[in-house]
Every structure is written in structure tokens, then in C-alpha cells.
Amino acid sequence: MTTPTTSLDDEAKKATTEAIIKYVASEQFKDKIAIEYKQQITDLIKRAETGARLMAGLAGLLVLAVFSALLLLQYADIRTKQADLYEKYTTGNELVARINTQATNMADDVQTKLKVVQDLKTRLGQLETRLATAEAASARIQRQR
């Protein structure tokens, strides 16, 4: 024997199931579900686009950072080479100054030695003249004897 409560429960379940099936089959439900799915798909697309933009931005920043780092390394290398060149330039100028000083000192030494040589030639000429005079005098003395 079935109790009236059980049959009422069964009838309620059956009525509820029929109402749900009828509601699910209705255009209103289909439109609502379509709108909800479209909204979810739109949200997913927006989130994907936002993520893609964020990744593109991060990739751009990464490329910029790598480029900047390489540029700074090149700049540091250029500064090092410039410092080396300046050091070589300074050393070269010091060497040129030393060479000029030595050349000036050598020119002064040569001038001094040329003057000494000229003085010696003059003195030699005087001595040759005195020798010739002495030889002439000696020859006269010998003739007179």
C-alpha cells in the first residue's frame, strides 16, 4: 500500500521534472544559456587578450632591457678603449717631449763641439805658423853658424 505522501512526493517530483524539462526546452532558457555562454566566452577572450598584451609588454621590456644592457656594455668598452688611447696619447706626447729635449741637448753639444774643433783648428794654425817661424829661425841660425 502506498501512502498518500509518497504518491504526492512522486507526483511533485514528476511535476518538477516536467517543469524543468519544459523550462530547459523553452526558448527563454536557450536564450539565457546562449547569452551566459557568450558572456563567458567574451570574458575568456578578454582575459586571454589581456594576458597576451601583458606578455607582449613584458617581452618588449625584456628586449629593451637586453638591448640597454648590451648598449651599456658597449659604452663601457668604448670608455675603456678611449682611456687606453688617451694613456697612449699621453705617453706618446711624453716621448716626443723627451726626444725633442734630447735633440736640443744633442744640438747644443754638437755646437759646443764644433766650436771646440774650430778653436782647435785655429790653435793648430797658430802652432803651425809658430812652428814654421821657429823652423825658419832655426834654419837661419844654422846657416849663420
Over the stretch 89-105, which tens digit does the pLDDT of each residue have? 999 999 999 999 999 99
Sequence-ordered list of residues with C-beta below 8 angstroms from that of 4, at least 6 positions apart, any chain: none
For the chain, the domains span: 10-112
CA distances in angstroms from 128 to 77, 117, 132, 139, 141, listed in the order given: 74, 16, 6, 16, 19
Sequence-ordered list of residues with C-beta below 8 angstroms from that of 29, at least 6 positions apart, any chain: 23
| Cα(12)–Cα(138) distance, integer angstroms | 174
Half-sphere exposure of 73 (CA within 13 A, CB side): 6
CB atoms within 10 A of CB 130: 10
pLDDT of 4 reads: 59
Residue with the bigger pLDDT between 38 and 1: it is: 38
Main-chain dihedrals φ then ψ at residue 93, nearest 5 degrees: -65, -40
In the predicted model, what is the mean pLDDT of the chain? 91
Q: For a pLDDT cut of 90, what percent of the chain falls above it?
A: 70
pLDDT of 24 reads: 81
Q: What is the pLDDT of residues 68-89, one digit of tens each?
A: 999 999 999 999 999 999 999 9
Span 22-34, mean pLDDT?
85
Contact (Cβ atoms closer than 8 angstroms) between residue 23 and residue 29: yes
pLDDT of 22 reads: 85
pTM: 0.46
Q: Which three cell numbers stand for residue 102?
A: 734630447
Q: How confident is the model at residue 5 (pLDDT cuts 50, 70, 90)?
A: low
Alpha-carbon torsion 14, 17, 18, 19, what sign?
Answer: positive
Main-chain dihedrals φ then ψ at residue 134, nearest 5 degrees: -65, -40
CA neighbor of 50 nearest in space, from 38, 42, 62: 42
